[in-house]
Amino acid sequence: MLIFRPVEMRDLDDLVTMAGSAGKGLTTLPASAELLAARINEARDSFEQRNAPEAGLFLFALEDTEANRCVGISGIQARVGLDEVFYNYRLSLSVNASRELGIHVRTPTLHLTNDMTDTTEIGSLLLDRGWRGGGNGLLLSRSRFLFLACFRRCFSGKVFAEMRGVSDGRGRSPLWDALGSKFFDMDFAEADYRSVAGNRSFIAELMPKYPIYLPMLPEAARAVVGRVHQQTEPALKMLQSEGFNFNGLVDIFDGGPVVEAFVHNIRTVRDTVKKDVLISRKPMVEEPRGSPVMICNASFRDFRVTRIPANWLRYDVVRLPPEVAQALLVESGDQVRLAPLKEGAVLPTDNNEAGHY
Amino acid sequence: MWLVRPVGPEDLNDVLALAESREVHVSSTLPASQDLLVARLALARNSFLNADRSGSHRFLFALEDTDTGRLKGVAGIDARAGNGQPFYNYRRDALIHASHELGVSRRVDVLYPSHALTDLSQLCSFVIATGLADGDAIELLSRARVLFIADHRESFTSELIAELPGAQSADGAVPFWDSLGRHFFDMDFATADHYSATHSKTFIAELMPHNPIYVSLLSEAAREAVGQCHRLSGPTCDLLKREGLAATDYVDIFDGGPVLKAHTNRLRTLVTSHCVELHGEESNQGDLCLIAGGQGENFRCTLAPVSTSLQGAARVRPGVWQTLGLSPGDPVRIAAL
């Protein structure tokens, strides 16, 4: 069984291994045991409410209970830009026109902004290669939205994700080569690493502050502004199907797009329903049927998500075998939230579809 | 004999021929178009007639070979750069991007749009016939303007600028323009230059980028062109530098050519010139000097051997007075060549 739960220090070794094999460009999860341990501590402080909720970093582990190991991670940063400055470029348009000469020129322009300050960011998603496919990635990503749905007051009304931008096999970014490298005496990977390592003040000190006129950059650089890395396209599609859209901001280093959605418009949040748990004393004899459904408990500190077959749902309750209830830390009568794992799927709403009990 | 005198409408054909023959573009201040030149020459005539009153005068001088009566060069002074409109430049400035944390420091060159030079007096519109680029004639044409300024000092500002044509490759491309202006004006350099001469500066205000430009984002050729003058403008540049004009942080917005600047009262020709009384002498003695006299429309300047006396008299051949349109006893201003 795959369980989505708050990260713990015992996950550190698995995470270091995963991050090390992930390659460059995963900007919010450093492949360093020291940095990862610091992140885990921060996340523990957040779940145990030793941090102010708005300063919270919520990292979740996907645990395979049979393999007894952590096979994935994803995260939510409650607010960005609180104790550091959070930068993006806004891809905007300048139009210069001369009526007298009949000239109308459109110049795409990058403006340095801090527009995402105070907004909730989702990121840090990484799934072990051996567990990819079968909807595991969806579970790892979408479970976060159940957490958002349960504890909305801890987060901003808008949520965003920075998507990885285009770089080649050696980690070279065309935008960095044409722009960032002219101002930073370092290569893309190093700048990226330093940025992730939490020391971002160098960005403010070295970045160009005036707008950048895109036509002055080479074609290769212009072409990647607002484009995602090929490997990130599935993640982008997934977020788009949740209702996320490009908001006009791009990463200052590699030009990757920022996508955002209002929490109340996120599909998983919108489709979520509440039901009471009924722990089945008898063995569940029916074959699992229907599209898988995510189910979560209501605990902030001990949040749990897993997936169950649709035919476990009833009109007002959800029947769970004892081992699933135990994994979710729920008992009969507890309220749980449910949402379809896959887009286009709907939760069964009546007895006819779900069968009798 | 070489004579520098005011240009008037009757010089149209000669000026047009010079403007068309030039190898270097002259930043649009001397358009090679008959209609525009007619207006420009009329303006010059009017400026000379009113030279004693300050205003946006645009003086234009001709270098004439008195033996043939042909014009061999033209040079101008705009009393107020921009002539009542904004005068555009980029000012090259530097920012230090330094990170204490990383221990790095980098100088970042930036071009800021500027109107700071608007309304300063400007030496401009310099063009001289091929073959005269080194010699006495070019020096006469360039420095005669300073003698005019000396004699009409109240018409000019306390600082004086000169724009030099910027770098151009052998095939005629202007690298600074191609890397910067072209993206915003959506036209080639020649067209922009033409519009600059024929239209009000409104189109520049409308089309030019408003934000500062990072030099490091320009092409390599454009970066090299910032503040560099055209290879054929070397002699003109040298003359201006000897006159005391020095490079500034300002460059032309179209071609990146340099803007030179000086305090008007410290121009070498102005400082070293003397006001003396003109007298006749039959021999060709003395040092070759620039000798200028006459006010406004009657201004003339030529090169002649002059022997000076301690009493403030300059003795020249009678032919020189006639060329200058003066008589013995008239005041003149002389400067050593």
Task: Tell me which residue in B187, B206, B217 faces A96 most closely, judged by beta carbons.
Answer: B206
Q: What is the mean pLDDT of residues B178-190?
A: 94
**Cβ neighbours of residue B256 closer than 8 Å, sequence gap 6 or more:** B90, B166, B167, B176, B177, B222, B225, B226, B227, B228
The answer to whether B214 contacts A182, with C-beta atoms less than 8 Å apart, is yes
pLDDT digits (tens, 9 = 90+) for A249-287: 999 989 999 999 999 999 999 999 999 999 988 777 778
- The answer to whether residue A93 neighbours chain B at the CB level (below 8 Å) is no
The answer to whether A202 contacts B101, with C-beta atoms less than 8 Å apart, is yes
Pairwise pLDDT comparison (B76 vs B198), residue with the higher score: B76
Beta strands in chain B (DSSP E): 2-6, 58-65, 70-78, 89-99, 104-114, 121-128, 159-163, 213-214, 246-251, 258-263, 274-280, 287-293, 300-308, 313-316, 331-336
Q: Which residue of B has its CA nearest to A203?
A: B99
Q: Over chain A, what is the mean pLDDT? A: 89
With 80 as the cut, is the pLDDT of residue A193 above it? no
The answer to whether B186 contacts A98, with C-beta atoms less than 8 Å apart, is no
Least confident of A196-200, A206-210, B92-96, B275-279: A196-200
DSSP secondary structure, A231-276, as one string:
GGHHHHHHHHHTT-EEEEEE-TTT-PEEEEEEGGG-HHHHT-EEEE
Annotated active-site residue B100? The verdict is no
Global confidence as pTM: 0.88
pLDDT confidence bin for A28, thresholds 50/70/90: low
Least confident of A28-42, B19-33, B169-183, B271-285: B19-33
Q: Distance between terminal CA atoms of chain A?
A: 24
Best probe of the A interface among B211, B218, B220, by most A CBs < 10 A, is B211
Least confident of B21-25, B221-225, B325-329: B21-25
Are B144 and B304 in contact by the 8 Å Cβ rule? The answer is no
In angstroms, the separation between the Cα of residue B149 and the nearest Cα of chain A is 37
Percent of chain A with pLDDT over 90: 67
With 90 as the cut, is the pLDDT of residue A207 above it? no
In angstroms, the separation between the Cα of residue B187 and the nearest Cα of chain A is 9
* Separation between Cα atoms, residue B195 and residue A101, nearest integer Å: 9
With 70 as the cut, is the pLDDT of residue A357 above it? no
Least confident of A306-310, B130-134, B285-289: B130-134
With 60 as the cut, is the pLDDT of residue B25 above it? no
pLDDT confidence bin for B118, thresholds 50/70/90: very high
pLDDT recorded at residue A273: 94
Q: Which residue of A has its CA nearest to B106?
A: A183
Task: Tell me which residue in B106, B110, B199 faces A100 most closely, judged by beta carbons.
Answer: B199
Chain pair A-B, CB pairs under 8 angstroms: 85
pLDDT confidence bin for A356, thresholds 50/70/90: very low
Q: What is the mean pLDDT of residues B37-61?
A: 88
Q: What is the mean pLDDT of residues B171-185?
A: 94
pLDDT confidence bin for A93, thresholds 50/70/90: very high
The answer to whether B216 contacts A105, with C-beta atoms less than 8 Å apart, is no
Q: Which residue of A has its CA nearest to B95?
A: A208
Best probe of the B interface among A93, A99, A105, by most B CBs < 10 A, is A105
* Separation between Cα atoms, residue B265 and residue B150, nearest integer Å: 8
In angstroms, the separation between the Cα of residue A34 and the nearest Cα of chain B is 20
Using a CB-CB distance cutoff of 8 angstroms, which residues of chain B are in contact with residue A213? 183-184, 209, 211, 213
Q: Which residue of A has its CA nearest to B177?
A: A216
In angstroms, the separation between the Cα of residue A105 and the nearest Cα of chain B is 6
DSSP secondary structure, B193-253, as one string:
HHHHHHS-THHHHHHS--S-EEGGGS-HHHHHHTTPBPGGGHHHHHHHHHTT-EEEEEE-T
Task: Tell me which residue in A109, A179, A183 faces B106 most closely, judged by beta carbons.
Answer: A183
pLDDT recorded at residue A301: 95
The answer to whether A206 contacts B99, with C-beta atoms less than 8 Å apart, is yes
Task: Tell me which residue in A98, A107, A210 faces B212 most closely, judged by beta carbons.
Answer: A210
pLDDT recorded at residue B137: 93
Pairwise pLDDT comparison (A215 vs B327), residue with the higher score: A215
The answer to whether A182 contacts B202, with C-beta atoms less than 8 Å apart, is no
* Separation between Cα atoms, residue A214 and residue A229, nearest integer Å: 20
- The answer to whether residue A101 neighbours chain B at the CB level (below 8 Å) is yes
Task: Tell me which residue in A199, A205, A208 faces B214 most closely, judged by beta carbons.
Answer: A208
Cα dist from B213 to A132, A209, B98, B234, B289, whole Å: 47, 11, 19, 27, 46
Q: Residue B193 corresponds to which amino acid?
A: D
With 50 as the cut, is the pLDDT of residue A213 above it? yes
- The answer to whether residue A53 neighbours chain B at the CB level (below 8 Å) is no
Torsion on CA atoms B140, B146, B150, B156, rounded to nearest 10: 150
pLDDT recorded at residue A198: 64
The answer to whether A205 contacts B99, with C-beta atoms less than 8 Å apart, is yes
pLDDT digits (tens, 9 = 90+) for A304-321: 999 999 989 988 899 999
Q: Which residue of B has its CA nearest to A96?
A: B207
Burial of residue B283, with CB atoms counted within 10 A of its CB: 0-12 exposed, 13-18 middle, 19 or more buried = exposed
Q: Which residue of A has its CA nearest to B185?
A: A105
The answer to whether A210 contacts B211, with C-beta atoms less than 8 Å apart, is yes
Percent of chain B with pLDDT over 90: 61
Tokens at residue B61, please?
A: 């001088």
The residue annotated as part of the active site, out of A104, A111, A229, A264, is: A229
Least confident of A146-160, A254-268, B70-84, B123-137: B123-137
pLDDT recorded at residue A257: 97
Best probe of the B interface among A177, A210, A214, A217, by most B CBs < 10 A, is A210
Task: Tell me which residue in B100, B202, B217 faces A216 most closely, judged by beta carbons.
Answer: B217
